[in-house]
Structure 1
Amino acid sequence: MPFFYRVGTGIGDVTDTAVGLPLQGMADQRQRATGVESHLYARAFLLADPTTHACVAIVVADIWSGTRRVKDGVIRRLARLPGTPFAEENVLLAGTHTHSGPGGFSGHRFYDYTDGGCVRPWWRASWRVVDRLV
């Protein structure tokens, strides 16, 4: 007997066009966004078993890393949706490891310090990623 999964996909532009955002990963606080050369995206893949209703969300975003802080934000936003089946154990968030995206969001002092600390403007970009995923 054949077995089928239900599959859904989505893509969203998560580019923040603000000039001056610190860029992630080069340990140079002078490395700041001066404009947009190419857009950043988040892609989501959802797999569901139509029999058991078990599901998994796999998200790949053009960010430096799928950090605990960003994953927790995604899960908190998803939890606000009525009937959402998504939680810690069935959401995978990965970053493409770009150094051309905003920094200062990891939640780890070492990485955030090299970008000038956890910067408030980054949250605009961070929540854009989360909102596009939800």
Structure 2
Amino acid sequence: MMELLSLLRLWISFFFISTLLLLRVDSHSEYLIGMGSYDITGPAADVNMMGYANMDQVASGIHFRLRARTFIISDPEGKRVVFVNIDARMASQIVTLKVIERLKARYGDLYTEKNVGISGIHTHAGPGGYLPYVVYIVTSLGFVRQSFEALVNGIENSIIQAHENLSPGSIFINKGTIEDVDDMCKEDDVGKTTSASGVGSSRSESSSVPP
């Protein structure tokens, strides 16, 4: 009986503290934070994989789907910054310009070249053909509009999601040490693990990133 009462008091205390923390975030937070996630997989077969510089490195199916993940932060003065992390080798100038063009058509000058950043995770296990530069489109046998449209549409929609769910939140910074990083890098070097992505190939390994 005593154990049951102690457990009950513990849960009541937990509920009380959690409620206070939530009320504090809602009423005193200085930032609005929004998050979004959208599919950018694109063509999954018969397309050269980005960045291998090997014409024989052709995708042959989907292992895990690729996504764009967006974070929007707005300060008390209304200034905003948008960071988009994509499951791709990199973004490209034409992808970024097209995304911003669509955002301007929808939101005016709220999101521009000055506050939107798009960054890839440097995976090579995704479809290529979406960059305008000769060194990249040679191995992809030209510009692949399916890859381009999938990236643009996915990035745009992930930003729309983040914009629509902006809510008061807090930002925390943590600093620490990640153990055994050297060992993980050595495993990568010998091919035991590979880049985090989602388009499979008949000639390379691929793993995944969480949705």
**Cα deviation code 1:25-63 (max 9, x no counterpart):** 11112222211011111100000013x211010000001
Q: Structure 1 residue 22 and structure 2 residue 48: aligned?
A: yes
Checking the alignment, whether the CA contact within 8 Å between 2:49 and 2:125 is kept in structure 1 is yes
Give the direction of change, closer, same or farther, for the CA distance of 1:18–1:3 in structure 2 (3 Å limit): closer
Query: Which letter maps to 1:39?
Result: R
Aligned to 2:123: 98
**Cα deviation code 1:62-84 (max 9, x no counterpart):** 01102211111110110110445
Aligned to 2:133: 108
Give the direction of change, closer, same or farther, for the CA distance of 1:82–1:131 in structure 2 (3 Å limit): closer
* Unaligned 5+ runs, structure 1: none
Give the direction of change, closer, same or farther, for the CA distance of 1:127–1:82 in structure 2 (3 Å limit): closer
Query: Which letter maps to 1:108?
Result: Y
SS for the counterpart of 2:148 is: helix
TM-score by structure 1 length?
Answer: 0.86
Give the direction of change, closer, same or farther, for the CA distance of 1:18–1:128 in structure 2 (3 Å limit): farther
The CA distance in 2 between the partners of 1:81 and 1:120, in whole Å, is 23
**Cα deviation code 1:91-114 (max 9, x no counterpart):** 010001111111111111112212
Determine which structure has the larger helix proportion and give its number.
Answer: 2
The CA distance in 2 between the partners of 1:24 and 1:80, in whole Å, is 30
Q: Structure 1 residue 8 and structure 2 residue 37: aligned?
A: no
The alignment's C-alpha RMSD in Å is 1.9
The CA distance in 2 between the partners of 1:98 and 1:20, in whole Å, is 18
The CA distance in 2 between the partners of 1:120 and 1:83, in whole Å, is 26
The CA distance in 2 between the partners of 1:27 and 1:122, in whole Å, is 17
Aligned to 1:78: 103
Query: Which letter maps to 1:31?
Result: Q
**Identity across aligned pairs (percent)?**
33
SS for the counterpart of 1:35 is: strand
The CA distance in 2 between the partners of 1:82 and 1:121, in whole Å, is 25
Checking the alignment, whether the CA contact within 8 Å between 2:129 and 2:148 is kept in structure 1 is no
The CA distance in 1 between the partners of 2:140 and 2:86, in whole Å, is 19
Structure possessing the higher radius of gyration over alpha carbons: 2
